[in-house]
Amino acid sequence: MKLSTPRLVLRELRKSDAANIAKNVSDREVAKNLLVVPHPYSLNDAYEFLARCANYQQTRPRVIYNFALELKSERQLVGLIGLKDVNRFNGTGSLGYWLARLHHRQGLMSEAVAAMIEFAFAELKLRRIEVCAFAENRASNGLIKKLGFTYEGKGRQSLRDRATGAIHDENRYGLLKGAWRKLRPRC
């Protein structure tokens, strides 16, 4: 399965992605905004993650979609995006992502998230997508708002970051299919 944006291909993960994932997630500036990854992040951690992803790909109905963000110009993985907790009965799913620090502030994640939203609503027929971000992660909170998600509340001191051990407030957002359809032409 592949999705495409002007600069990215969103594709299924492969074993050969392990070294690139380990290198990028080992960057503390990336890891500090991710809830469940240890720091440092080893090559073995990446292989274990990829093995879980391979299992998710085989599960039916599929409830987790993880895609590599591959730059078309370089044909290399620069991040990941995922949709988890896909519940077709409820029509819901939860979004998560990360991007290598070298590629921050270039609009790449906006492209990737918009493609994933479109996939969730058009292909998976979901009606609602949820996403959370650490309250102090201004870049992620800004991206989420830019793409039309509605702020739905804060979980005060609700999360402990595995990479740093820090406790974070969590901002929670939701996006309904109808709201996306109205916004989409501007994205």
The answer to whether the beta carbons of residues 4 and 10 sit under 8 Å apart is yes
Q: How many CB atoms lie within 10 A of CB 65?
A: 23
State the pTM of this model: 0.93
Dist CA 63 CA 56 (whole Å) = 7
Instruction: Tell me the pLDDT band of 186, cut-offs 50, 70 and 90.
Output: low
Dist CA 155 CA 157 (whole Å) = 6
The pLDDT, as a whole number, for residue 187 is: 47
Domain parsing of the chain, residue ranges: 2-131
Handedness of CA 41, 45, 51, 57 (dihedral sign): negative
For the cut 70, the answer to whether the pLDDT of residue 144 exceeds it is yes
Which pLDDT tens digit goes with each residue over 35-93? 888 889 999 999 999 999 999 999 999 999 999 999 999 888 999 999 999 999 999 99
CA distances from 32 to 39, 67, 130, 164 (A): 8, 21, 21, 6
CATH class of 2-131: alpha beta
Which pLDDT tens digit goes with each residue over 146-179? 999 999 999 999 988 888 889 999 999 999 999 9
Average pLDDT, the chain: 94
Mean pLDDT in residue range 112-129: 97
